[in-house]
Amino acid sequence: MNQQHIKTVLFDLDGTLADTAPDLADALNTVLLNNGKDALPFEQIRPVVSHGGIALVSLGFGIEPDHPKFEPLRQQLLQVYADDIANKTCLFPGMSELLNNIESVGMNWGVVTNKPAWLTEPLLDALNLSQRAISIVSGDTLKERKPHPSPLLYACEQAGSQGFECVYVGDAERDIVAGNKAGMKTIVALFGYIGTKDRPETWGADALLESPQAISQWLQLN
């Protein structure tokens, strides 16, 4: 498949660009223990991470957002996470090389995440990526969030590309829905936080890839 028209590669953050699950799992377990609950095994937490703090609180405490204790617990979780946001977080194996390959051929790359900016920005700073990304769009940058296509189209505009010149890589169905609505090519990062009940083959992506190395090959960068 010829991908020579692709100028910009956009990445989801959690579970695609960076492996943030260890730090988010530690934060959830800290809040659970602080509230008299048992910690959960990492394997149970990992598939939920891409769905954010609401999903993590629901998993840990078995309550829904309309519960009176829900929002205070979510705020506890976010603050504990923010206080130690990049302790164990790192790029997925092969991702650093993928970013280097993208830049070496004159393409650019950016990040589009539903994570709020007050968490996104210090995390990307800690990973030394803020100055390299052509665009960083957080969950509160615009009124709309994924699966709405606006954040992706905004990132395209910042990158100087049109929708058909971009590819979006993500590990959740909302990522693929947003990318398709924006007229982009879409890739499912199968190395991300795919749950056992997820069926990524039904999401309508152009490719389902097992590693950053496979993304590099799909983009014909090596």
**Residues annotated as catalytic (active site), given as ranges:** 12
Other beta carbons within 10 angstroms of residue 37's beta carbon come to 14
Rounded-to-integer distance, Cα 10 and Cα 65, Å: 30
Residue with tokens 């990492």: 42
